Amino acid sequence: MGVVETLRELSEVWRLFSDMPDDTTLSVDLAALYLGVSVKTLARYRQSGSGPQYIQYQSEDSKARNQRINYLLKDLRSWRDNHKVSNTMHAAQVRGLAFKSLIDFCEPQPFWKIANNSKDINLIISHALIISDDDFKKNLLEPNADVVWISIENALFQKWKIKEERNIWNEIFTSTLDNIARASESEQERYTLNDAFDE
């Protein structure tokens, strides 16, 4: 099936979703389609408790592990709306990229990197978890792009394709370091004051 035909079918599906009342019950397959995720991803959300609320039907005499799972359309809409982001930093926080200690910056992270054959260098494009879905798909189709696992500290000392993307990570890195330094100074002042009052 071609792209245009697929888009036509999807537009029909979205028209159907928009006409459905909030209390419509959807199967796992339809819920995944509505959210734009795979059925496996939706199952992982259920396991981790990070996804939308769902309904699990279970009869008393049933011993099967996999019971029928359904979702209410209003719960899917609410969950989807709660995951809207306004910028890449917000996206990083939503996806669990909260940096609170120096160790967080030393752990390997997935970054998109592209080879620039004309200059024989590799350029960092962006962190793989905060890049938009459209850019992610473009990178998948780009033969010179690849995901590399490196620390944020390491990434900041490499060449970047887009200056603004590096600025985001530089700001996160330096502001976290500043916060840690200020916290350490406050703790030192507390010790100094405690010593002074104990004398």
Please list, in sequence order, all residues whose beta carbon lies within 8 angstroms of the beta carbon of residue 37, skipping any fewer than 6 positions away.
Answer: 45
For residue 187, which phi and psi values (nearest 5 degrees)? -65, -40
Cα gap 104→92, rounded to integer Å? 13
The answer to whether 127 touches 110, Cβ cutoff 8 Å, is yes
Which of 1-15, 31-45, 143-157, 173-187 bottoms out in mean pLDDT, i.e. has the lowest? 1-15
For the chain, the first-to-last Cα distance in angstroms comes to 82
Residue 64 scores a pLDDT above 70: no
Residue range 5-47, pLDDT digits in tens: 554 555 555 667 677 778 888 888 888 877 877 888 888 888 8
List, in sequence order, the alpha helices (H) in the chain: 3-19, 28-35, 39-48, 73-81, 88-94, 102-106, 133-141, 152-156, 163-198
The class that CATH gives domain 3-81 is mainly alpha
Query: Sign of dihedral through CA atoms 11, 50, 129, 81?
Result: positive
Q: How far is CA 140 from CA 49, 69, 113, 121, 133, in A?
A: 29, 33, 11, 19, 11
Cα gap 50→67, rounded to integer Å? 19
Per-residue pLDDT band for 156 (boundaries 50, 70, 90) equals very high
Per-residue DSSP letter, 160: B
Task: Look up the pTM and report it.
Answer: 0.47
Domain ranges of the chain: 3-81, 89-198
Residue 169: both structure tokens together: 């990570």
| pLDDT value at residue 95 | 52
The answer to whether 173 touches 151, Cβ cutoff 8 Å, is no
Per-residue pLDDT band for 101 (boundaries 50, 70, 90) equals confident
**Average pLDDT of the residues of the chain:** 78
| pLDDT value at residue 7 | 47
